[in-house]
Amino acid sequence: MGGSITHPDRAARAAALTRFLHALHSALADAATNAVAPNAAGALSLVAELDAFSLALAWTQNPNYRRRPPDPSFLDNYGYAVIAGPADGPPALAVHPHLALGVLLLGPHAHYPIHAHPATEVYYTLTPGGEWWRDDGPWRAEPAGTAIHHPPNVRHATRAGASPLLAVYLWSGDLATHARLADPDMTLPDLI
């Protein structure tokens, strides 16, 4: 299995996670200093590091959404995997009590509706073509290599374009409270 994180060698596993975290640090630092010109090359580098342990990721879905999906196809086109997070959360490759770090995947044309949560959230886009909405809008098409910040309890939404959307997420603050979808009667500008 080469350098895969699924290799039983703990040192190989730690090295793969360390490389990913260093690549993420560099990508976020670059996004912070070059917000006007996102670095798609940084996103590609991060995808390569993520690929080293992608087979070890345990994909899951928010239990609030499983109980009450926003539409019939949503659960077929949405999932996330935790790379690091609290021990009492979804399966993670590493345990960290004060942050949740992972990846979000939306299928083509999937719409992650308006939701909010008390945790502070940062997304780092790995694929182009996704659109992001916050508070009163408008929708913003964000290229790969963009950092997107959502303060606590701010309403936001995401939708994928013709290709799947993949983004790294980082939560801090209240990690125990899952996101909740907004009132289903609430609409967004240019929703469909």
Reported as a single tens digit per residue, the pLDDT across 32-57 is 887 667 778 889 989 999 988 888 88
Rounded to the nearest integer, the mean pLDDT of the chain is 86
Read off the tokens for 36. 């006007």
pLDDT of 112 above 50 = yes
Predicted pLDDT of residue 64: 83
- Give SS3 for 188: coil
pLDDT of 192 above 80 = no
Distance from C-alpha of 190 to C-alpha of 192, rounded to nearest angstrom? 6
Q: What is the mean pLDDT of residues 168-191?
A: 75
Strands 180-181 vs 130-134: parallel, antiparallel or unpaired: unpaired
pLDDT of 8 above 60 = no
By mean pLDDT, which of 47-56, 101-110, 141-150 is the weakest?
Answer: 47-56
pLDDT of 128 above 50 = yes
pLDDT of 31 above 90 = no
Among the listed residues 61, 60, 62, 65, the one whose alpha carbon sits nearest the alpha carbon of residue 184: 65
Residues 6+ apart with CB under 8 A from 127: 43, 144, 163, 164, 165, 166, 167
Residue 88: CA atoms inside 13 Å, Cβ hemisphere, count? 6
Q: What is the mean pLDDT of residues 121-146?
A: 93
Distance from C-alpha of 24 to C-alpha of 142, rounded to nearest angstrom? 18
Among the listed residues 129, 82, 140, the one whose alpha carbon sits nearest the alpha carbon of residue 107: 129
DSSP state of 54: G
Identify the residue with better confidence: 184 or 129. Answer: 129
